[in-house]
């Protein structure tokens, strides 16, 4: 065995105790490859890369650049060309991704990949590797959007978009929606963010990549709250100092889900704040996922926990009602009352309800004035009558029978066939677009989409409202059956007939202990969200109808013929700006912001963490 003398010049001892600073890879020694892509759209599964730009840097020095256009093998949509300046003509002679990919992977070999909103760029690169049959290299990835959220406050920048951060850090290159320019701008943003890490004690690559995975010590100390939570499906309730519900959630594995709140996997600032207040966790085991989801809804509606955002106020849903009088009109109400007219909806907010009302008025000349109407030949009428948008029943120009025939079109649309109501609007959308009035066409199209979705939702709810009792079953994955008993849309009993258990006998026991629904017949006995949960459970592949009391049937033709229209509207909305960043540079993980303190430690502030 040979060794060297500790005093030998230029030689390092064979055995040496290193300092803490020697652990990990110092950031000045890390090679980063900052990459940016331009694409034909926002989906890595259906769109393709049109340009790659990358910069290789280490220690603040640029080691190389990589930039090329890429032939995506398809036409570039006009809105993308307007955004990026890249046209189909420009990429016609460019290499295909299959030949560009090996060169880029070689350029990035051994480096840490950096991107702004990394899931977008890395997702496209992984998809390209999969299509080419090339293994994706196990590279460390740093997202400058996440770092910016951790290190910057709203007082400094209003959002974390690259276009905002580049001027803030005095970048020498501003982003232009061209790949190499955006990559150069991201390099300057990265260096500006790294400068902020020094005073925080983050000096190594390992500390940098672990920055968004730090766990607040206070949260770690509360891991014992999950000790008594069982495995299996159910509902969990975090309770505060006064035993008040703070947050209600559901999971197919209660124990695993609750434990995740005390780990680095939970990065939402609201949940971090909630866990800090929680004193205990209550668990409510359920037979299967539908029962758990329904119980969650009911508990949220009952207690309105401060940290739940959705489903807290089901009573705030709105409906559009066609009143019952000689000359009915549309009004927006909060409650469906049997026998009080025809109801359309529900709608989440007044804006959606008003859009549906406007669509109906665009299609039918229903009166828009309020109150009861007494026809009189001396009545002056209104501007809408002069424009042909009202039959002027107030002047006696339209009889109750003629008016009723007009209103019957809406009644028929709600109950079964929206064709007569929607056909004129579809024709008008096409006509406006043909005349080049695209903005007017888009407004009418969006109104019509709101109306069609409301009709579809109402007809689906009516499907369950008319069924006194319904029993449905799904395989539980272990040879048994998950059973649900539903009465007028309300889940009244749930259980699992395990493998070897006679299903019919078990089902009879389940019905004996089932809840008895109250309220008028032919009225939904559950909240809208609960009924829709039941409908989605019914529609899953493998679900079987065991018993049905009454008639379970869809009115025909329903909104089925309009599904193609809704699909086009959804596709158009997604394509308006596939690169839009409405969330201000946020990512799926919303890490706590670093505000200083001991090295590697994240201190949070309830005010500073709100973005």
User: Read out DSSP for 170-182?
Assistant: T-SS---SSHHHH
CB neighbour list of residue 526: distance below 8 Å, 6 or more residues apart: 488, 489, 490, 491, 534
Q: What angle do CA 512, 516, 519 make, to 5 degrees?
A: 165
**Maximum pairwise Cα distance, the chain:** 118
With contact defined as beta carbons under 8 Å apart, do 235 and 283 qualify? yes
* Tokens found for residue 514: 């089932």
Place of tokens 């740093």: 142
Strand 31-39 relative to strand 112-115, pairing: parallel
Place of tokens 């109906």: 360
Where is 548: in which H helix or E strand?
Answer: strand 544-549
With contact defined as beta carbons under 8 Å apart, do 314 and 524 qualify? no
Instruction: Compute CA distances 57 → 19, 168, 183, 203, 259, whole Å.
Output: 27, 21, 11, 17, 40
- Residue 448: name the closest of 576, 569, 318, 575 by CA: 569
Is 244 exposed, middle or buried, given 0-12, 13-18 or 19+ CB atoms closer than 10 A? Answer: middle
Place of tokens 């609750």: 258
Q: Is 434 annotated in the active site?
A: no
H-helix segments, 141-279: 144-151, 162-168, 179-197, 205-209, 217-220, 254-260, 269-277
H-helix segments, 204-306: 205-209, 217-220, 254-260, 269-277, 289-303
What 3-state DSSP class applies to 513? coil
Give me the torsion for CA of 293, 298, 301, 303, rounded to 10°.
Answer: -110
Give me the torsion for CA of 105, 111, 112, 115, rounded to 10°.
Answer: -50
- Based on C-alpha coordinates, what's the Rg of the chain? 31
Strand 469-475 relative to strand 544-549, pairing: antiparallel
What 3-state DSSP class applies to 303? helix
With contact defined as beta carbons under 8 Å apart, do 336 and 352 qualify? no
Options 116, 177, 288, 361, the catalytic residue: 177
Q: First vs last Cα of the chain: how many Å apart?
A: 61
How many whole angstroms separate alpha carbon 538 and alpha carbon 485? Answer: 12
* Tokens found for residue 57: 């840097």
How many whole angstroms separate alpha carbon 143 and alpha carbon 435? Answer: 46
* Tokens found for residue 520: 């008028």
Count of CB atoms situated within 10 Å of the CB of 594 = 24
What is the side-by-side strand order in the sheet with 481-487?
Answer: 490-497, 481-487, 469-475, 544-549
- The residues annotated with a catalytic role in the active site are 177
């Amino acid at each position: 065995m040979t060794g060297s003398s500790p005093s030998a010049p230029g030689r390092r001892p064979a055995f040496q105790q290193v300092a803490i600073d020697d652990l990990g890879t110092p950031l000045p020694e890390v090679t980063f490859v900052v990459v940016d892509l331009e694409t034909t759209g926002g989906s890595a599964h259906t769109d393709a890369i049109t340009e790659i730009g990358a910069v290789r840097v280490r220690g603040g020095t640029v080691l190389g650049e990589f930039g090329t256009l890429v032939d995506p093998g398809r036409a570039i949509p006009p809105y993308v060309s307007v955004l990026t300046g890249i046209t189909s003509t420009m990429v016609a002679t460019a290499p295909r991704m299959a030949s560009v990919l090996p060169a880029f992977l070689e350029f990035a070999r051994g480096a840490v990949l950096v991107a702004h909103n990394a899931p977008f760029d890395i997702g496209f690169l992984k998809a390209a590797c999969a299509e080419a049959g090339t293994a994706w290299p196990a590279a460390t990835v740093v997202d400058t959007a996440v770092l910016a959220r951790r290190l910057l406050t709203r007082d400094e920048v209003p959002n974390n978009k690259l276009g905002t951060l580049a001027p803030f850090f005095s970048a020498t290159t501003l982003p232009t929606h061209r790949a190499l320019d955006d990559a150069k701008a991201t390099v300057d943003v990265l260096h500006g963010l790294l400068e902020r890490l020094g005073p925080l004690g983050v000096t190594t690559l390992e500390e940098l990549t672990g920055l968004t995975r730090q766990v607040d010590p206070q949260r770690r100390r509360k891991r014992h709250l999950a000790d008594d939570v069982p495995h299996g499906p159910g509902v969990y309730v975090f309770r505060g100092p006064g035993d008040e519900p703070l947050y209600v959630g559901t999971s197919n594995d209660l124990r695993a889900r609750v434990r995740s709140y005390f780990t680095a996997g939970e990065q939402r600032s609201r949940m971090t704040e909630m866990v800090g207040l929680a004193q205990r966790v209550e668990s409510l085991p359920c037979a299967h996922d539908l029962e758990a989801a329904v119980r969650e809804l009911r508990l949220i509606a009952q207690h309105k926990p401060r940290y739940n955002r959705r489903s807290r106020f089901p009573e705030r849903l709105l409906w559009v009602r066609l009143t019952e009088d000689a000359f009915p009109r549309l009004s927006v109400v909060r409650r469906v009352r049997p026998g009080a007219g025809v109801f359309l909806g529900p709608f989440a907010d007044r804006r959606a309800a008003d859009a549906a009302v406007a669509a109906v008025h665009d299609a039918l000349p229903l009166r828009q004035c309020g109150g009861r109407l007494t026809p009189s030949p001396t009545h002056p009428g209104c501007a809408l009558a002069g424009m042909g948008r009202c039959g002027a029943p107030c002047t006696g120009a339209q009889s109750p029978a003629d008016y009723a025939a007009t209103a019957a079109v809406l009644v028929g649309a709600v109950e079964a066939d929206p064709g007569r109501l929607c056909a004129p609007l579809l024709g008008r959308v096409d006509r406006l677009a043909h005349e080049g009035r695209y903005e007017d066409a888009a407004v009418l199209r969006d109104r019509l989409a709101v109306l069609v979705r409301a009709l579809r939702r109402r007809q689906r709810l009516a499907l369950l409202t008319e069924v006194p009792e319904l029993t449905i079953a799904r395989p539980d994955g272990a040879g048994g059956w998950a059973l649900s008993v539903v009465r007028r849309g309300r889940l009244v009993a749930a259980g699992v007939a395990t493998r070897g258990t006679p299903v019919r006998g078990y089902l009879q026991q389940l019905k004996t202990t089932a809840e008895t629904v109250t309220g008028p017949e032919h009225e939904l006995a559950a909240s809208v969200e609960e009924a829709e949960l039941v409908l989605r459970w019914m529609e899953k592949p493998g679900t079987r109808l065991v018993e049905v009391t009454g008639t379970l049937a869809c009115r025909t033709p329903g909104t089925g013929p309009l599904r193609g229209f809704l699909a086009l509207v959804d596709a158009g909305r997604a394509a308006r700006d596939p690169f839009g960043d409405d969330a201000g540079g946020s990512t799926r993980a919303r890490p706590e912001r670093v505000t200083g303190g001991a090295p590697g430690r994240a201190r949070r502030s309830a005010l500073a963490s709100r973005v």
